[in-house]
Amino acid sequence: MKKPRAKRPPLPNKYVKVCDFNPDSYLEVQSLAAHFNVRLPHRKDSDDENALSTEKKFLLKAARKYPVFAKVLACKERWKMISTYKWKLDANNRIHYTIGHHPSTWRKSCRNINAQNIPKRSALADEFRRMVIAPPGHVIMACDSSAIEAVLVGYFAQSPRYIALAKAGVHDWFNSVVHNEAIDLHLDDAALRTACQEAKHRYDKPSRETAKRVVHLSNYRGTPERMFEEYPDDFESVAHARRLQNVYLASEPGQDIVRWWRQVLTMAGPPNRSLLNPFGFRHRFFHVFNYNRRTQGWEPNGDDAKRAIAFLPQSTASAIQDVYIEALWQTPLASWCVLPVHDDLLSYVPQSEAAAAAATLQRIFTMPIPELGGLSVGAEISMSAVGGNWAPRSDSNPTGMEVWNG
Amino acid sequence: MIPSGPHCGTCPHRELGQRFIEPDGSGDSGVLLVGDSPWMEEMAAGRNFAGAAGFTYNRMLSLVGIERSNVMTSNTIWCKPLRLKWMDFPERFRDAEAAITHCRPNLDGLIERAQPKVIVPMGNVALRRICGVSGIESHAGYVMATPYGIPAVPTFHPAFIQRGQQKLNASAVFALNRARSIAQGTYQESKYDLLLDPPPDRVRDYIRSGQSIHGEHGGRIPTLVVDIETPESDRLDEEEIEQEGASWTIVRAGFSVRRGSAVTFPWQPPYIGLLQEALDLSEEVIEHADNNFDSRRLRHAGLRLPARIVSSMWAWHFLESDLRKGLGAVAPFYYAGPPWKSQSAARPAFYNAMDNAVTMDVYCGTRDTLIAQSRWAAFERHCIRMDEPLRVMGERGLLVDPVYQAAFMDRLDQEWEAANADLQQLVPDSIKKRKYWKRAPKDLTGVTEIV
């Protein structure tokens, strides 16, 4: 019988290479955070108990003390752009996409090149948007439903005061409140709009951004912690965010919103467990309330509570966009629309038709919606120069987008 | 407390497990529900599903209208395991697999004694244990065979539902209702008349059987479901632009002209012509896709389609916007029987015919419910009528300046390289990953020899 061969001992490792740090590996970023004693929160989307979140907001916080995290973010941002947006063009230098309705709120989705996810509001994003251009002899025309979700929050809160304020500029009104120069809420619509416009120019841009964050996130029941987490540049601390939120929610319009929350959460909870918007979109909610053993009562802080509050304005805004597209499809704009981006619609319009197209867009985007009792929403149109690009107009980008004032 | 069940003595898990928990409930309803294992709160209470997951479990039962005392509640292993998710990865934790195997007689004995009429495995661990297959998402709600000769209706584990997946409550409640109907003897399996690769004349007869003989659709097929098969249906992204590649090669097609039936055939003449005949006669074409997958490929292959194309996937999504949309996930709500989605390679003809027959049921069922809820008109307006504008916009696309794009991307590459070089300087070597070789690698850049 053949004697079995003795098992050879494994060879020892003889060569080693120290690999480059990979900023896109969350495990490596976790190790880096551990090395600098930076505490990262647990990942909510992972079953792995040891997985920590390496989201931008947390790394930004760490970057204040350790510059290495700023470099991690710089690498990640550029790599994301390189890997996500190195689009393959067709023979006519165009990208194409499939627009669907994947979100449960029936907002529009964009896949196989997500053109709705194009970055915005940063210097790099502006440069990126310069890639998207109008065909020769055409302008890029974007029509945005101004503050549509805020107007709809007012509609669902059954607050004509909030609707008027949302149309006039609720962020600017709140900014005036923060600056102890509160605009009188009882002004007529035109005067309110003028006062808000004045406030927009009176205060600095960062304070307006902060006011905007407070209004938007508070309307959807965002916590001060979340405000600070999401926008660390806009708030000094969680306490700062809480102070501002308290001011907003204690105001007359804020009280309208709080009342609306109560109504909507009651409707979304048992026994209905669903909400139906005025266009027939329905969403089920199974976890609106949590039982609090200490108070022995049900509290509206379940996983579905915030989703329930956001559902009506968001799904209705999407339905309204359908109404606009349906109406536009009966006009020459049917030949020029190229992309709906949330509350925005992008078109390539021949130069000679630009004024007429803008007027049509303005008319359609402000028309009364019968399903909402004749409610109408404002529209803001911006336009590039002929053959221009999608980035905002500036000295360095003279052919970019600029608000159209007729 | 060391487990003290009748089989615990020789269990490899005995020293590590805690407290042996017996099943509870009378099982009078004929339903046996099986989870994975007890955990902390079950340890304290001494009964299965006692904690937060137990709350979800009780609520599921109450939504179906079943008393917990009337069902039998048990687990895959009957003591507390080492840690949570220990049994979720049998390939990773061999000792977990050994413990599950050792605990088998407990559950086997229970099933033999109680003789339930239906078993409801809850979660993947129980599904593997009872049905011998993995993938709870692709099996939830179907009626499956078990080695015990007792049908099983798998569903999600209450702990999974409770941890941020409350939307699956509807699916779990549906599965429990189905289990109850089996236990009560009222369950009826879906029966389909499937024509698998029939002679052309049979296909012609089948088309005629779908033509309406009276009313506004006289001589027409009111609803035609079409489904195609390609060699690589799931690999799409890069082929979208160029309209070429494997996913644009049709190898099989099928259709359904009325509920309870379908025909399937290989993609070859004269069947292609017969499909065109059916398409010409139809008022509307239904496909279960979110991106016109089938209709675009049929057009690309030269077929004429009617103007009205409806996605049963979007119809379902309009009805139940937070549940999964794939046909395999939707099917159990309209089809009663075993899953078939895993048989695409083994039985391609059966697979395609089932896809067609079930899609017809899903579409008709969804449409009827939306009509009953007075929401069909909203679906027509916001989905069917929106389809053309959204498709046209996607086809037009955005114009990109290729010169700027190339320069911008080059600049980003350079910036990334510069930022990465700075980053590597700032990151201490001690936390960088190391790669080891036993023999000298071909590329020796950055490689040092261990002395």
HSE-up of residue B43 (Cα within 13 Å, Cβ side) = 12
Q: Is the pLDDT of residue A382 over 60?
A: yes
Contact A302 B170 (CB under 8 A): no
User: Cβ distance A26 to A51 under 8 Å?
Assistant: yes
Q: How far apart are CA A161 and CA A406, in angstroms?
A: 28
pTM of the model: 0.88
Which residue does chain A place closest to B289, by CA atoms?
A: A100
Contact B401 A133 (CB under 8 A): yes
The 10 Å Cβ neighbour count of residue A5 is 6
Residues of B in contact with A11 (CB under 8 A): 438-439
Q: How far apart are CA A222 and CA A298, in angstroms?
A: 19
Q: Identify which of B85, B409, B441 has the shortest CB distance to residue A47.
A: B85
| Average pLDDT of the residues in A347-361 | 96
* Domain spans in chain B, listed from the N-terminal domain onward: 8-184, 193-396
Q: How far apart are CA B451 and CA B442, in angstroms?
A: 19
| Average pLDDT of the residues in B138-149 | 95
Contact B409 A35 (CB under 8 A): no
Q: Which of A344, A351, A314 is nearest to A129 (CA)?
A: A344
User: In chain A, pLDDT over 70 holds for what percent of residues?
Assistant: 97
Among residues A60, A78, A96, the one where a domain terminates is A78
- Token pair recorded at residue B443: 């590329």
**Residues 6 or more apart from B426 whose CB is under 8 A from it?**
A67, A68, A71
| pLDDT tens-digit readout, A245-281 | 999 999 999 999 999 999 999 999 988 889 999 999 9
In a domain, A357, yes or no: yes
Beta bridge partners of A52: A42
Same domain, A166 and A27: no
Q: Is the pLDDT of residue B22 over 90?
A: no
**Residues 6 or more apart from A389 whose CB is under 8 A from it?**
A129, A130, A131, A132, A133, A134, A140, A397, A399, A400, A401, B401
Choose from A18, A73, A293 for mutation: most chain B CBs within 10 A: A18
Same domain, A166 and A52: no
Q: Is the pLDDT of residue B241 over 50?
A: no
Looking only at the bridges linking them, the beta strands covering B31-35 and B72-75 are: parallel
| Average pLDDT of the residues in A98-114 | 90
For chain A, the average pLDDT equals: 91
Q: Identify which of A19, A339, A348 has the shortest CB distance to residue B434.
A: A19
Report the pLDDT value the prediction gives residue B244, as an integer from 0 to 100: 64
Q: Which of B150, B172, B159, B164 is nearest to B125 (CA)?
A: B159
Phi, psi of B19 (to 5 degrees): 50, 125
Residues of B in contact with A339 (CB under 8 A): 393, 398
Higher pLDDT, B46 or B256: B256
CA distances to A27, A49, B72, B120 from B38, in Å = 31, 19, 15, 17
Residues of B in contact with A128 (CB under 8 A): 408
Which residue does chain B place closest to A320, by CA atoms?
A: B382
User: In chain B, pLDDT over 90 holds for what percent of residues?
Assistant: 65
Would you tell me which CATH number, out of the four given (3.30.420.10, 3.20.20.100, 3.90.76.10, 3.30.70.1230), belongs to the domain B193-396? Answer: 3.30.420.10
Q: Is the pLDDT of residue A203 over 60?
A: yes
The 10 Å Cβ neighbour count of residue A296 is 7
Q: Is the pLDDT of residue B327 over 90?
A: yes
Which residue does chain A place closest to B451, by CA atoms?
A: A14
In a domain, A266, yes or no: yes
- The CATH fold assigned to B8-184 is Uracil-DNA Glycosylase, subunit E (3.40.470)
Q: Which of A65-74, A186-195, B78-87, B366-375 reaches the highest mean pLDDT?
A: B366-375
- Give the number of beta-carbon pairs within 8 Å between A and B: 240
Which residue does chain A place closest to B409, by CA atoms?
A: A82
Contact B440 A101 (CB under 8 A): no
Residues of A in contact with B393 (CB under 8 A): 99, 337-340
Q: Is the pLDDT of residue B238 over 60?
A: no
Same domain, A273 and A394: yes
- Token pair recorded at residue A157: 């809160």
Helix (H) or strand (E) holding A154: helix A148-156
**Residues 6 or more apart from A354 whose CB is under 8 A from it?**
A139, A141, A383
Q: How far apart are CA A277 and CA A156, in angstroms?
A: 10
In a domain, A90, yes or no: no
Q: What is the ipTM of this complex?
A: 0.87
User: Cβ distance A337 to A328 under 8 Å?
Assistant: yes
Beta bridge partners of A132: B400
Q: Which of B310, B146, B335 is nearest to B259 (CA)?
A: B335
Min CA distance, A212 vs chain B (Å)?
29
Report the pLDDT value the prediction gives residue B246, as an integer from 0 to 100: 74
Min CA distance, B414 vs chain A (Å)?
10
Contact B437 A15 (CB under 8 A): yes
Which residue does chain A place closest to B439, by CA atoms?
A: A14
Q: How far apart are CA B109 and CA A173, in angstroms?
A: 71
Q: Which of A402, A397, A403 is nearest to A126 (CA)?
A: A397
Min CA distance, B119 vs chain A (Å)?
25
Same domain, A146 and A73: no
Report the pLDDT value the prediction gives residue B3, as an integer from 0 to 100: 64
Min CA distance, A115 vs chain B (Å)?
9
Q: Which of B285, B276, B271, B306 is nearest to B227 (CA)?
A: B285
Report the pLDDT value the prediction gives residue A85, as an integer from 0 to 100: 81
Contact A19 B401 (CB under 8 A): no
Report the pLDDT value the prediction gives residue A335, as an integer from 0 to 100: 95
Q: Is the pLDDT of residue B379 over 90?
A: yes
Strand locations in A43-180, DSSP E?
Answer: 94-95, 98-100, 109-111, 138-146
Angle in degrees, 0-180, between the axes of helices A160-168 and A252-268, rounded to the nearest 10: 120
Q: Which of B105, B33, B38, B98 is nearest to B70 (CA)?
A: B33
Among residues A53, A78, A103, the one where a domain terminates is A78
Same domain, A261 and A389: yes
In a domain, A264, yes or no: yes
Report the pLDDT value the prediction gives residue B236, as an integer from 0 to 100: 47
Residues of B in contact with A302 (CB under 8 A): 166
Residues of A in contact with B291 (CB under 8 A): 98, 100, 111-112
Q: Is the pLDDT of residue B235 over 70?
A: no
User: In chain B, pLDDT over 70 holds for what percent of residues?
Assistant: 94
A106-116 burial, b at 16+ Cβ within 10 Å, e below that, comes to bbbbbbbbebb
Q: Which of B331, B209, B330, B342 is nearest to B281 (CA)?
A: B209
DSSP for A252-304, please give it: HHHHHHHHHHHHHHHHHSTTT-EEE-TTS-EEE-S-S-EEETTTTEEES-STT
Contact A281 B321 (CB under 8 A): yes
CA distance from start to end of chain B: 51
Q: Is the pLDDT of residue B242 over 60?
A: no
For chain B, the average pLDDT equals: 90
Q: Is the pLDDT of residue B199 over 90?
A: yes
Residues of A in contact with B428 (CB under 8 A): 35
Choose from B157, B235, B399 for mutation: most chain A CBs within 10 A: B399
Residues of A in contact with B169 (CB under 8 A): 286
Same domain, A350 and A208: yes
Q: Is the pLDDT of residue A285 over 70?
A: yes
Per-residue confidence band for B301, with pLDDT thresholds at 50, 70 and 90 = very high
- Token pair recorded at residue B213: 């003989």
| pLDDT tens-digit readout, B89-125 | 777 777 778 888 888 899 999 999 999 999 999 999 9
Per-residue confidence band for B1, with pLDDT thresholds at 50, 70 and 90 = low
Report the pLDDT value the prediction gives residue B5, as an integer from 0 to 100: 67
Report the pLDDT value the prediction gives residue A2, as an integer from 0 to 100: 63
Residues of A in contact with B440 (CB under 8 A): 14-15
Number of domains in chain A: 2
Report the pLDDT value the prediction gives residue B226, as an integer from 0 to 100: 97
Same domain, A33 and A163: no
DSSP for B80-107, please give it: E-SSTTTTT-TTT-HHHHHHHHHHHHHH
Among residues A30, A59, A78, the one where a domain terminates is A78
* CA A141 distance to own-chain centroid: 21
| Average pLDDT of the residues in B337-346 | 92
Residues recorded for chain A: 406
Residues of A in contact with B404 (CB under 8 A): 130-131, 133
Range of the domain at A291: 142-403
Query: Which three-class secondary structure state does DSSP give residue A146?
Result: strand
Q: Is the pLDDT of residue A47 over 70?
A: no
- Token pair recorded at residue B276: 């065109």
Of the listed ranges A149-153, A264-268, A281-285, B217-221, the one predicted with least confidence: B217-221
Q: How far apart are CA A92 and CA B242, in angstroms?
A: 12
User: In chain A, pLDDT over 90 holds for what percent of residues?
Assistant: 69
Q: Identify which of A17, A78, A104 has the shortest CB distance to residue B419.
A: A78
- Token pair recorded at residue A320: 């309204």
Residues of B in contact with A290 (CB under 8 A): none
Q: Identify which of B317, B399, B427 has the shortest CB distance to residue A32.
A: B427
In a domain, A318, yes or no: yes
- Token pair recorded at residue B303: 């077929």
Report the pLDDT value the prediction gives residue B392, as an integer from 0 to 100: 94
